[in-house]
Each structure stands twice: as structure tokens, then as C-alpha cells.
Structure 1
Amino acid sequence: MTPDNKFGGSFGPNEWLVDEMYEQYLKDPNSVDENWKVFFAGRNGTPKPSTPSTPPTPKREQAKVEAPAPVAPPAPQVQPVQSVPPVQPQTPAAPQTVRQAAQPLPTPAQPVAKPVKEISTPTAARVEPLRGVANRVVQSMEASLTVPTATSVRAIPAKLMIDNRTVINNHLKRARGGKVSFTHIIGYAMIKALRQMPEMNAFYTELEGKPAIGHPDHINLGIAIDLAKEDGSRQLLVPSIKGCEEMDFGQFWSTYESLVKKARKGTLTVEDFAGTTCSLTNPGTIGTVHSVPRLVQGQGLILGVGAMDYPAEFQGASEETIANLAISKVVTLTSTYDHRIIQG
């Protein structure tokens, strides 16, 4: 093998083809054309530089060989190159020494001010005084701001309560009629719990200017009722069921329903709101999970009932998955109490 570029690069990009023919010539000189055979036979290194129009001339020593004189390949016809006049370099123009005067920066145009329409402001909006029961609620809410409270939150499985409610309502449907709600059941359970823990049914007061705790003789359970008014607004009323500790479930249910009917008819009196010792509110009916309601003065406890549903992490599961995993619906109860009477 001869080194690369063995022909001095005289064939340009066709050098690879000449190399292949040269390799073929080395293996079998008769496998190439006679002209190439003579050319390769006369090459033993880098060829001498020659013009494209003149074929390579064999050396004199090679002329002494008895072999027939090599025939030079026909020279390719080369078009004469026309002479191009040299490009005269252009002399760069001399920089101008005259400095132009600095132009002042343009001042941005001021936005066109549009005239503002004058809007007539009413001297006063329509003000409706709060009278009667509504006025009493406002006073209670403002007074509740002075009550230091704490809140305990618990999530309780509701499967057993749901099943028992279904059994009760099916019995009422076949017998006397009527319907039991979850608020009825939770409210009555709250009364039974207060009978076992009467210290929760208390209120803060003062005795001769000193802090004191009052213990009512009865459990008067306040029921939060959300009512729609004729003008579309809503009103929260909290009348109370008096003497709940002596009632059975039937008596409690009947008194509860009578109080709700009075609230819807607008026949509640001030006495219906007086003497409340604890309250029950059920924001779960509007989808609230749990809340921290206000505790008014004169009460020691308010129980909030949240929405009854599957835990959030299982609400997207199928019914089959919930059944296989034995997942129960839960209800969240919040107990907000006066921290002055419940200090533990």
C-alpha cells in the first residue's frame, strides 16, 4: 500500500477512484486500461507538478526499456481562464469631524384625559331597623365577643345512626306517620350526655363582683333554625326546648317539631329565646363539614353538626370498593364551650 494522497492530489475529489484503480493495477496490471497501466507503471511516488494541458512526460531512463513507448492519455481540453483585473481597494472615507448638535429627547405625549361622568351618590341607602327578635339576636352576638371559648372536634362513624334512623322511619311510616331527622337523634343524644355530665350544662357569672359558675336547674336546649324571609334574605333563630332532661324521645321530637312550626309561622315570643343553657346547630344540611359557631353569654356549650358523608379520601371510590373495605360515613361534631367553666 502506498501512502495516502499518493498521486499528489492532482485528481482532486476523484482521488478515491484513482486509488481503487491503482489497487486493482497492483493485483492484476491487465485489469486496467492500457492508458492507466502506462500511467501507473510510470508512477513510483508523487508526480511532478504539471499543467493541466500537458500530459505527464516519461523519464529518459524509462525510454531505454525495450517495451513499446507508452502512449500518453489524451489531455482534457481546458478552457482558457480569462484574466480578471485586480480589484482596486477602496479607500475608506475620512470620518467626519463635524459633530452634530444633540437633539432633545422627544417628550411622550400625554394621554388624553376623558371626562369622568359624575355619578350621583345617594345620601343614604335604605336602612331597615332590626326590631323584636332580630334585635335580641344582634345583642346576643355582640355580647358573645366577650366570651373566651375553646373548641373540640371529633369525627364519629355514622353507620349505626343511619341504620337506626331507617328502622324508626319505616316503623313510623307503617304506624302513625311522621319522620325522624338526624338532628332529632343527635339532639336527644346530646341531652342524655348532659345528664351524665351536668358540669357542661353551666354558665359563667359573677357573685359579689367575683367570678362564679351558675348551674341551671334544667336543660334548655336551643335549636338553630335558618329561615327564609319574604324579601329573600335569611334569618337565624335559636329558640329553646325547655326542661329536656325529663323528656323521652317521643316528647322531645314532638316539642321540637312544634317549635319549628312556630318559627316558620313567625309566632315565636321572647320567652321562647330566654333561659337557653346550651345550643345545637346543624350547618351540615348545607354541606359544611364542621364549623365553630358563636357561644352567647349565659350558655356553656354549643354543639355543631357537620355534613354526613364518606371520608374525603374515599369519596371518589366505587360502591363496591367502599363495601369491600367496610368504609362508613362519618359526621363531624364540634363542641365549643366557655373556657372559664370548662378549664380542663
Structure 2
Amino acid sequence: MDRDSLSSRTSKARSNALTVEDFADTTLSLTNPGGIGTEHSITRLMKGQGCVIGAGALEYPAEFHGASEQTLADLAIGKTVTLTSTYDHRVIQGAASGEFLGRVHELLIGQHRFYEEIFAALRIPYEPIHWAPDIRVDPTSAVDKTARVQQLIDAFRTRGHLMADVDPLEYVQRSHPDLDVESHGLTFWDLDREFVTGDFGRDRRPMKLRDIVGVLRDAYCRTVGIEYMHIQDPEQRAWIQNRVERPYSKPTHDQQLRILGKLNEAEAFETFLQTKYIGQTRFSLEGGESTIPLLDAIMHAAAESGLDDVAIAMAHRGRLSVLTNIAGKTYGQVFHEFEGTDLSDTFDGSGDVKYHLGTEGIFTGADGETIPVYVGANPSHLDAVDGVLEGIVRARQDRRPAGTFPTLPIIIHGDAAMAGQGVVGETMQMSQLRGYRTGGTIRININNQVGFTTLPGEARSSVYPTDGGGTRVRLPPEVPSRGRHRPRLLPPARAQRSRRSVDDTAAHVRSHRDQAQRPDPIHGGADRAG
């Protein structure tokens, strides 16, 4: 049977559309008596068939049907399935049949990278837990396994971000020895056993290991990576843990519509500028459009928290989209600046000045909440504006009662500038000094994964461009729904701790371009997204 015929036959089987003719001239059949609860069945060969493989029910052995889940877990009793092979001895030898069933057995227990290939096909970013013999622990020393589970939890909190799927350009099935249950003296058989975990997952009752690992993967290893265990204050770490260590919850319908709307606004705006003003400098946000719903979520949380206003500083990339879709600057004003017809009092020239200008406006959220927004002017491509914005925010806060920080500063970086410019580290180091503190700054890094022509491996020694920040949250632009939950952590974290938080959005440059937005064939080879 060729590939097309097999695909056609498979589609008909899935849609329950097989006919008698489809079964004609078959040499090997699969039957599933287990679907009706039959443990195993030895079927009869039809004329012309060489073999029939039968799969029985997947169930616990009969002698353990009455056992409790706890007993089954303690005794390491798993479900079994019986496979039978009925074959015509004239064409198939008994040894070949036995080797076939043995091969299936090896695959089902995870040999030959069977489950790794399935995980890869489904783009699950971490490796499966492998089958292994149980490790027997004497009941008098059972606390030892509980300690191992605590070590596993701590490992995920510390290294879980290394397994998060945050790169939009490359799928990698990540693994780390510290995050493998076997590295902590645990096995496949412990997954259904219960362990005391304190207040982990906001549940003081014992939890099954599979549920513990599920919560840990949801919190640290899906499409958002969080790095915070370097924080020395245990209260701050516990505060973050209580808010992120919970099962994944899908955004509501209204939240999804809001995210889609903000993405559409960013995409349509950038597409129009590229179509209408071909060759003009615009420093597009293409490849990092999820920055807009990310900012939208932060602004919404800031308004809900009762802050007075928000001040934003950023480089050129994406500035026009932020001005229009977040800060309230009208499309008409931007178009006039492109065409050189802006006659307003604030117009000071033409050319690329539109990427230097800031604005003041009002952000309006999905529920009608509003908060004033200030976007600072920036004559530099990069981060010269960082200290200026912190000074502006500090001046505003000095006019408020002492000890209050009602203005939220947000600084948007690029990956090369964040890792390479000294002003970034300087403002971070000075952020807690009495004369400079502003109550915590949220920093968003649009990680282009290329510094003009330089790849990350040649631009910095650290794993991430944001190493050196406070609480670091990393997410990919292709999953904006995940990004909406984490920004809600940042303003409350700032209010609770008065510390900086860094959001690292792994983006990409869709096509390498020069400042005039023209495809650049000279430097195109350095662009991972090309």
C-alpha cells in the first residue's frame, strides 16, 4: 500500500466511513477487543491474511481490582495491556512474531526514544519521564523521599526557566539533569504516590508527584520562564511562589478578544506604514507585536492598582506602535509626520524626528479604566534615556507624600543594548539608593536575537541579555495569551517589594532591514529569522 492509499484509508477509519471493500486483500489486521473491556482475544485468521494483532483492555491485574489507589501506588502496581499475535505459520515464524511483540513492549516502556519522538512531534518542550525500576524505601525512612521531592521542587524554581519554550525561531526539546526526577532518587512509580509538600500549590494536603510535577511545569516550563531564586529575601521569593505555582488557567473569552484586538492593532498599523510609506524609516515592531498586549496588560494592572500615572522610555524599535496603541497618539498625527505636513505647535522638523518624540496621553482599558501615560523623548537609538526617565519619575514622586511611589516607570530595551550598554546596569544598581529610588521599574526587553548583525553567542557571555535584573520573566511573542498573565504579577510585585522586575520577550526580526526598512542583502546572513 502506498502512502496516499494509507492516508486515505486512515482518514476513512477515523471518520467511521470504511466499507467492506476497504478490508479486501489485507495481509495484516489490527483489532481492539479491549474497547469493550475484553482482556485479550485470539482472533481467527481470514482467507489471505498473514497476521492479526489484538489489543486487550488497559487495566490493573484482576487480583488488584479491589485495591485502593494508595495501595496500588505503594506496591507500584501499574496497568497492563495484553497484546496477542495470531499468525499463519506458513508465512510468519513464531520467532518473528515474538520479536515483534517484544519490540512493541520496548517501545511502550520508552526505549528507542519512542516517547521523545512523540513529544517532539507535539512540540512539548521537555522530555518524558522514563520507565525505571522502583526504588524501595523502608517505611521508617520514608521522610527521605519527601525530602527528595522538596529538592525537586526547589530545582524547578531555580532551573525551570531553562526548559521553558521561549524561542519563536527554534523548537528545542530541552532537558536539565536537575529537573529529572531520577536525579533526585525518584522514579516513574512514584508519580502516583502522595507526598507532603507544605503549602506548595496553595494546598496543604499531600499531593501526588505527577500533580506536583504538573504544577511545576505549568509555572516554570511552559511558554513562560521565571527566574527569581537569586533574590536573597525569603519573603519576596515566597510572595512570587504563591502567585505563580498554580495550574495553568486559560484566559477568559473577553481577555482573548482583548489580546487579539491589540495584536491586530499592532499588526495592521505596521503593515499600513510599510505599504504606504515604502522606504521611510519607521523602526518596525514586526516580530515583537506581542509587546503591545503585554503593555496593555501592565497598564490595566497599574490602573486597577490605583497608580497616578505611567511613564515609559524606549528606543526607536516599536516606538510608533507604542505611541498610537498604548499612549493614545492618533494615527493622523503619525501620518502627518511621515508626510511632513504636521503644522502643530509641537512639530519641530522632519526626517526621523518622529522616532525621537514622546507624547502624553490617556490609556483606556477594556473595562473603561483610564490612567495617564507619558512617553519620554529619546534622541538616541538605544538606552541613553534610561536615567532621564528615572529622573522624571523621581521628580514627580518627590511632589507626593514621602514613601509613596504613585508613578510607574517602564523602560523598553533591545537585547543587544540591555546586555552591552553600561547605563542599563548603572540605573539598576542605583535603583535602591535613597536619592534615586523610584519604587521599582518594570523593564521590558524586546529580544530580537540579533544585535543589528551580531548573533547572541557573539554579543554576550550570559545565557540571557537580562541577566543582572531583578525578577526576570521570559516569554515568546507567539503565545501572547500566556504573556497576559505574567504582567499582572509585575505592578503588584513592585508595590509589595519596591524592586525592579524585568520582562524578557523573545522576539525576532522578520526580515533584516536597514534604518530605511529596506531588505539588506549584505547583512541578511546574520539574521536568524531570514
**Fold similarity call, TM over 0.5:** no
Q: What is the TM-score with the length of structure 1 in the denominator? A: 0.28
TM-score normalized with structure 2 length: 0.20
Q: Larger Rg: 1 or 2?
A: 1
